[in-house]
Structure 1
């Protein structure tokens, strides 16, 4: 097995000149590296193309919303008491309210 392949694993982030991307799969038999770009698009590279890409390791982005296709307002943190007015305190109350 090639040295560069041993150092690579699923979940690691890389960058070329553009946005970062994450390795989401490596198939050693088919010699394919599957990556997911920050915007959520998937792309696969054969091993030769991966080497030509000359991607370098990078830390993961702090904001993962690019791949999730959601706006920041969609995932603001609220406590259950703020979001539901405490309706989750008793599951039977929730069922009776329908």
Structure 2
């Protein structure tokens, strides 16, 4: 029996399906998993313990069904640095600001 760990990949020995544990709810005693095709499933902890699982490495193309690329992992709170600082268009300030309205 393997304990579920968020972010870890497992293979169901009986079905051969590969999935990742994406959430644990200890209060509800459930394990939420996501398969390569994007399907999300929730197991009771008792059912999880009855599964025949083995740890697995994350597949190389695991982001393909979600259409993610390397830029999707960037932190939106980090400062943005344009590739070309000398572009004259980058110094133009907009006439309006999003979220600010004139009264």
Question: Match for residue 31 of structure 2?
Answer: 33
Structure with bigger gyration radius: 2
Give the RMSD, CA atoms, in angstroms: 3.0
CA distance in 1 between counterparts of 2:44 and 2:10 reads 16
Does the aligned pair in 1 maintain the 2:34–2:40 contact within 8 Å?
yes
CA distance in 1 between counterparts of 2:36 and 2:91 reads 40
Q: Which of residues 36, 41, 44 is equivalent to 2:42?
A: 44
What 5-or-longer segments of structure 1 have no aligned partner? 76-86
Task: Give the Å deviation of 1:94.
Answer: 6.0
Aligned length, in residue pairs:
80
Which structure has more helix as a fraction of its residues? Answer: 1
Q: Which digits, 9 at most, give the CA deviation of each residue in 1:18-60, with x for residues without a partner?
A: 3310000111111100001011111100011112222211111
